[in-house]
Structure formats: C-alpha cells, structure tokens
Amino acid sequence: MSLSGNRTQSVAVVALIASMIIWSVSGIAIKHALMVLPPFTMIVLRFVPSVLLMLVIGLICRKSALFGLQRLELRDLPLFLIAGFCQPFLYYLLETFTYDALNSPTIAETLLSTSPLLSPLFAAFLLRERVTKYNIAGVLISTAGVFALSLVGSSDYSIGNYWGIVLAFAAVSAAVIDSIMMRKVPERYSSLSFIFYAQCVSLLFFLPLWWWKEGPETIYNLQFTIYNSETQVALGCVAYLTVFASVIAFILFCFALRKVGVTQANAFNNIRPAFTALWMFLFFGEHLPLGKWIGMILIIFGLFVCQKQEKNTIF
C-alpha cells in the first residue's frame, strides 16, 4: 500500500474510534433522557435540531469535501430513502421492540452488537467488496470479545419471547443496509450530505408516529416541567445526542466507511460496549470482573486482525 494509502487508512481508523467513543456514551445519555422523556419525543428532540444544525454547517461550509451540503439529485433519491428508512427509523423501532421482547437487556445488547458478523456477507454480495480471511477472523475474535464482555457476570440468561431474537437480527440488518447505502451513494455527496438527507427521510416517518403516540400530551407536560432539574438533565443528554451522536459521530463514521469499506468499518462497532463498560467502571464505579477485561482485549485484538491487509479474498 502507498504512503498516501497508509495515511488515509490511519485517518479512517482514528475517525472510527472517535465515532465509537461518542456512541459509547450515547446509551448512557439515552437511559437518562428516557427517565423523563417518552421515547418518540426523545427521538424527535434529538433529530430535528441535528438536521437544522447540519443545514447551517452545510451552507456555511459549502465547498468542503466533508461538511459541504450538495443539492440532492432525483436519480439518487432511492438510495437516501432506503438509508433513512433503515436507520435511524427502522433500527430504532426494532431495537425498542427487541428490548421489550427479551427478558435480559444484556442478551438484547449482545444480539444488537452483532452487525460485524453480517457485514462481510452484505458487503460481498451487494457491493462485491473484498472480504479476506483476516477480515472474517478479526470479526469473529472481536465478536467473541463482545459476548464475553456482555455476558460475564450476568445473572439473567432467560430469553423471553423468541421473536426478540428475530427482531434483534432484523435491527442489525437494517443498520448494515444503511452502511451499504453509505457506500453506494456517489462520492460527490459529502458525508454531511448523506447524513442530512437520510435523517430528513427518517423524520418523515418519525414525526407522524410521534404526533399520534405522544405529541400533544408531551407538549402540554413539558411546558410545566421545563424548569425541573430532572427535565433539564434529560434535555442536556438530548443535546449531547443531537450534536455529538447524531451529527459528529455519524459524519466521522460515514467518512471512514467510504475509505475502508463496510466490513472493516462495522467491525469497530464491537468496541462500543467495551468503551461503555470502561466509562461505567471509571465514572459510576461498576465492577469489571476478569472475564470482561479479557473480552475487551479480544475486541481490540480482533480489530487489529481485521485491519490486516491481504491480496487473497474468500468472497
């Protein structure tokens, strides 16, 4: 690989790690926000400002290859419609039903972290992307680490409704298809443009659901609780999700995925639970037994293996 190629790979890896660090805090922020806000309200409060923020950034940085906002061409509309429908709209719905169907949140989180297992298959058959034995080995090692990290120390292994397993893999498939769309969208669209149009499409689905399920009642309740400290903490969490998780992390991930491919980019999703566990250990005093440390080591080792270059492919 050329020096320029090595530099591009390194920048992409840094972007992926940064996006995963941001998203690893998202689960904590969502948990705190949902203690006060209904789910659809939280989603709408998160994505409406993020779309407006990206619009402002895109217009100011119009000539930027990363942050410029390009005009949407009609022939590319189907790609954005599929992307926006798959994630965040469909993924968030399926994720919610998964947690509801399965008894153990730990098992639900583990199943929802398996996108790297499906990515090589989707990438090979839909994009004709090169998949090597190192990609597969790295994904399997890293995923084994995720299972160790998530399940060690868990006392509840009961499944609950087995449809939850189907819903979890449907959610993961939606997330991987969204990654495929990122790859298929022409390079003339910046990363910000892709995220902006995809989130606009998602809002077209979310807003009617929000109004039907929660809208009028939530608006009425919020006007009386806006100065409540718990509500302000929840809104602070939503602000983090808006600026960092919905804008910065998505743009970084989209940029990196276009550089390294779907399989290698999605492999980094495995480090999100590791970072989350680390934050809980450092800031909330959550105990980390030896098995969880071993899981984190496996995740990191698997990522190194996945990034190893090889000419021969298995797909």
Residue 86 has pLDDT above 50, yes or no: yes
The pLDDT, as a whole number, for residue 148 is 80
Every domain of the chain and the residues it spans: 3-306
pLDDT classification of 147: cutoffs 50, 70, 90? confident
pTM of the entire predicted model: 0.84
pLDDT classification of 53: cutoffs 50, 70, 90? very high
pLDDT tens digits, 190-204: 999 999 999 999 999
Residue 299 has pLDDT above 50, yes or no: yes
Percent of the chain surpassing pLDDT 70: 90
Residue 126 has pLDDT above 50, yes or no: yes
The pLDDT, as a whole number, for residue 78 is 93
Average pLDDT on 286-301 reads 81
| Pairwise pLDDT comparison (14 vs 131), residue with the higher score | 14
Q: What is the DSSP string of the chain?
A: --HHHHHHHHHHHHHHHHHHHHHHHHHHHHHHHTTTS-HHHHHHHHHHHHHHHHHHHHHHTTT-TTT--PPPPGGGHHHHHHHHIIIIIIHHHHHHHHHHHBS-HHHHHHHHT-HHHHHHHHHHHHH-----HHHHHHHHHHHHHHHHHHHTT------B-THHHHHHHHHHHHHHHHHHHHHHS-TTS-HHHHHHHHHHHHHHHHHHHHHHHTHHHHHHHHHHHTTSHHHHHHHHHHHHIIIIIIIIHHHHHHHHHHHH-HHHHHHGGGHHHHHHHHHHHHHH-----HHHHHHHHHHHHHHHHHT---S----
pLDDT tens digits, 55-65: 999 999 988 88
The pLDDT, as a whole number, for residue 105 is 61
Residue 266 has pLDDT above 70, yes or no: yes
pLDDT tens digits, 89-102: 999 888 878 877 87
Residue 3 has pLDDT above 50, yes or no: no
Residue 259 has pLDDT above 50, yes or no: yes
Q: Name the average pLDDT for the chain.
A: 84
The pLDDT, as a whole number, for residue 139 is 83
pLDDT classification of 5: cutoffs 50, 70, 90? low
The pLDDT, as a whole number, for residue 311 is 60
The pLDDT, as a whole number, for residue 314 is 56
| Pairwise pLDDT comparison (257 vs 27), residue with the higher score | 257
pLDDT tens digits, 211-257: 998 988 888 888 878 889 999 999 999 999 999 999 999 999 999 99
The pLDDT, as a whole number, for residue 4 is 53
